Amino acid sequence: MQKIRKGDTVQVKYGFWNGRYGMVSKITRYVIFVKLFGLANGTLGVSLKFSTRDIRKLSRKEAMKVLILI
Is 24 part of a structural domain of the chain?
yes
Per-residue confidence (pLDDT) for residue 11, from 0 to 100: 81
CATH number at residue 53: 2.30.30
Instruction: Give yes or no for a contact between 26 and 45, defined as CB atoms under 8 angstroms apart.
Output: no
Q: Does the pLDDT of residue 23 top 80, yes or no?
A: yes
Is 56 part of a structural domain of the chain?
yes
| Backbone torsion region of residue 23, taken as left when φ is above 0, otherwise alpha when ψ lies between -120 and 50, otherwise beta | beta
7 alpha-carbon distance from chain centroid: 11
Is 31 part of a structural domain of the chain?
yes
What 3-state class would DSSP assign to 46?
Answer: coil
Number of domains present in the structure of the chain: 1
Per-residue confidence (pLDDT) for residue 66, from 0 to 100: 63
What's the rounded Cα separation, in Å, for the pair 51 and 1? Answer: 18
What's the rounded Cα separation, in Å, for the pair 27 and 3? Answer: 11
Per the structure, the complete domain to which residue 24 belongs is given by 9-69
Is 1 part of a structural domain of the chain?
no
At 31-70, the pLDDT tens digits run 777 887 766 555 555 677 766 666 656 555 555 556 655 5
Is 30 part of a structural domain of the chain?
yes
